[in-house]
Amino acid sequence: MRKSVKSMLSPLGKAVALACSLAMCVSLAACSSSSSDSKSSSSDSSSSSDSSDKKGQIAGVTAKGKLGEKPTISFNTPMTVSDGSYVVLQKGDGDVIEEGDRVCAQGIALNVKDGTELMDTWTKNTPDCSLKVDSKTLSSTYYNQIKGAKINTTIGFGVNAQDSSGYSYILAMTFVSKSKDLEKATGEEVKDVPANLPKVTRAKNGEPSIDMNGQGSVDSLISQTLIKGNGAKLTDKNTVVVKYTGWLTDGKQFDSSWDRDSTIDADLFSDSSGQHQVIEGWQKGLVGQTVGSQVLLVIPPDQAYGDKEQGPIPANSTLVFVIDILAAY
C-alpha cells in the first residue's frame, strides 16, 4: 500500500533508478543530459518521416538499423517539435500490439536543439515495461500510435519538457516485447495455511472476502501465501502490479482496488534517500513472492502508519491485506 492514501507510489518510480524511464519521459519530460551525439545527416536511412503536412507528424527525422536493435536516428538541427507529434521511424515485424497489452520498450531521447543524446536504455539493456495499452490511462497520441503497431516498431514522439531543464526532444521508442497482465491470482491453492489466520474466500472473479477469525493486533509481520503463482519471483528492484483489499482487524474495509476495478503499480524498491515507496509491511511481505500469487498480509502499526491517523485508518492500527500479484517489471 502506498505511504499515503493519495501517494502510495512514488511519482518518479523507476525513473529515479534508471535516470529516466521511457514512461516518465513521456509524462514528466525529465531526462538528464549525456554527451552522445545523434547524426545530423539524413542520408542512408531505412525509414523516414513523411514530408507532408499531415497533422501531428514530425518531418525530417529518419532511422536506420536492424529491427529490434538500437537504431541510428538522424535529423537536421536545430529543429522544433510539438507535444503530441510523432513519426513512425521503423515498422516492426513481430506480433501486433493489442488493447490491454503490457509493452516493454527500449528508448533514446535526443535533444532537438543539437542532437545530443539525453537518455538511452539500450546500452545497459534496461527496457521500460511500465507501458500498458489502455485508452483510459495512456494519452491519445501514444495510445493511437502504439495500439496496432507491431513488435520491433520504432516511433519517435515529440516532447517539450515542463521541468526546469527546458529540453525539447524526440523520444524514439522501440517496442521489443509484449505480455498480458493477469486478471486475478492464478496458481496452486496453498493447503497448509495456519488455522488461526483470517479466513479468505473468493468470488468467481477473484475478489476476496474475509472472516477475521479473531485476528487481533500483531507486533510482527505475517506474510502468508494463499495461492502460489508460477510467475517471476519478486525482488526489491521490482514494480509490482496488484489488486488488493485492506481491512482493519475489526473487519472494517478501508480500501479496495477491486471496488474501483483497477490495479496499482507498487514500487518495492527504495528511492534515492533510502525510503520505501510503499509501507514497510508491503515491501517486506511481497519481496520473494511470485507473480500469480495471492498473499495475506497482517501488518503491525510500526510497518504501516504507526501513531499517525491516515484517512479512514486510525492511529496504531494493525492492517490486514489480501493482495493479488498480477505482473511485475
Whether 30 contacts 161, CB under 8 Å? yes
Residue 13 reports pLDDT greater than 60? no
**101: nearest Cα among 64, 39, 153, 60:** 153
- The whole-angstrom distance between residue 110's C-alpha and the CA centroid of its chain comes to 23
How does DSSP classify residue 278?
Answer: B
Instruction: For residue 24, give every residue at least 6 positions away whose Cβ sits within 8 Å of its Cβ, in sequence order, or none.
Output: 12, 13, 14, 15, 30
110-163 pLDDT, tens digit per residue, is 999 999 999 999 999 999 999 999 998 888 999 999 999 999 999 999 999 877
Q: Give 56's pLDDT tier (boundaries 50, 70, 90).
A: confident
Q: What whole-number distance in Å separates Cα of residue 162 and Cα of residue 166? A: 7
pLDDT at 166: 83
Cα torsion at 310, 316, 322, 325 (round to 10°)?
70
| Domain topology for 14-180 | Chitinase A; domain 3 (3.10.50)
Share of the chain above pLDDT 70, in %: 83
Cβ atoms within 10 Å of 55's Cβ, excluding its own: 7
What pLDDT, in 10s, does the model give residues 262-291? 999 999 998 777 777 899 999 999 999 999
* Structural contact between residues 150 and 97, judged by C-beta atoms closer than 8 angstroms: yes
b vs e for 87-101, b when ≥16 Cβ sit within 10 Å of the residue's Cβ? Answer: bbbbebebeebeeeb
pTM: 0.81
Does 78 sit behind a cis peptide bond, omega within 30 degrees of 0 on the bond before it?
yes
Q: How far apart are CA 230 and CA 135, in angstroms?
A: 29
Q: How confident is the model at residue 25 (pLDDT cuts 50, 70, 90)?
A: low
Q: What pLDDT does residue 18 have?
A: 32
Q: Is the dihedral of CA 50, 52, 53, 59 positive or negative?
A: positive
Residue 50 predicted with pLDDT over 70: no
For residues 27-38, give the mean pLDDT.
Answer: 38
Picking from 46-50, 156-160, 302-306, which range would have the lowest pLDDT averaged per residue? 46-50
SS3 208: strand
At 127 the pLDDT is 94
Class of residue 18 by CB neighbours under 10 A (exposed 0-12, middle 13-18, buried 19+): middle
Torsion 275-279-283-284 (CA) sign: positive
Considering the chain, tell me which residue range(s) the CATH 3.10.50.40 domain(s) occupy.
14-180, 188-328
What are the pLDDT digits (tens) for 57-77? 999 999 999 999 999 999 999
Over the chain, what is the mean pLDDT?
86
Domain 188-328 bears CATH identifier 3.10.50.40: yes
> Taking 60 as the threshold, does the pLDDT of residue 14 lie above it?
no
Asked if pLDDT for residue 38 goes beyond 50, the answer is no
- Mean pLDDT over 158-175 rounds to 89
Q: CA nearest 239: which of 313, 319, 181, 161?
A: 181
Residue 31 — pLDDT band, cuts 50, 70, 90? very low
